[in-house]
Amino acid sequence: MGRVNRGVRLALGAGVFAIVGASVGVAGSALAASGHSQTRAVHNVPATPAAFAKETLEATYIEHGDSSTAEAAGFFPIDPSHSIKCGAKAGKTCTIEINASVEGGDTTTASNQVALPWEIDGTFVGLGGPYIGETAADGSFSEFTYSDFQQGVTPGTHTVQVFGYSTNGLTLAYWSITYQVFQP
C-alpha cells in the first residue's frame, strides 16, 4: 500500500528561493523490516569532532507535511529523499545539520521508543538515530525533536532523508525538517 506526503520545500541561501511541492510513494521496502541491522544501526555513535571551528551557512532547506499515516514497527521514511549541494572547493568539506520535529502517537503501547535516524547518500550518519523518547501510553500524540550533524561531507550533490523508527509502530502526523549546509 502506498503513502503520499504533501509538503512544501523551501531552499534558502546564496540568492536561491524556491517552493516545490513534494510527494513520495512507498510500497514496502527493506526499511519496514523491524529490528536493527548492521547497515541500518540505530545506535552508531561516532567519535567526537577533533576541533570546534567556525563555519558559514551555505544553504537552508525547509520541508514540512502532515501524513496522518499509521506506520508499522521499524523504520519508515518521514520526508522524501532530497538532493542538496555541498559547494566547498576541492580539498574542503561541508557540514550538514538537521533539525527535525515530528508528531507521533495514537498508540496505547507502553515503552514505544522513537528515534529519528537520517541518511546521506543511503548511509545513516551523525549519531545514527538514538532513541529520543516514547509515545504516550494513553493514545495521545507526542512531539519528538532531534538535531544532529555530519562533518566531512565531500563537495558535490548528495541525497539526504530523515526516517522514523518506532519499536511498536505509531501514527505519524505533522512533521517539519530543516537541513542546513555549512562550509568552514
What values do phi and psi take at 124, rounded to 5? -60, 140
Distance of CA 115 to the CA centre of its chain: 10
- Residue pLDDT tens, the chain, 184 long: 333 333 333 333 333 222 222 222 222 222 333 333 334 444 444 555 556 678 999 999 999 999 889 999 999 999 999 999 999 999 999 999 999 999 998 777 778 899 999 999 999 999 988 999 998 888 889 999 999 999 999 999 999 999 999 999 999 999 999 999 999 8
On whether the CB atoms of residues 117 and 166 are closer than 8 A, the answer is no
Q: Which residues contact 102 (CB under 8 A, 6 or more apart)?
A: 78, 114, 116, 143, 144, 145, 164, 172, 174, 175, 176
Beta bridge partners of 179: 61, 98
What pLDDT is attached to residue 8?
35
Spans of all domains in the chain: 7-30+53-183
Residues 7-30+53-183, CATH architecture: Sandwich (2.60)
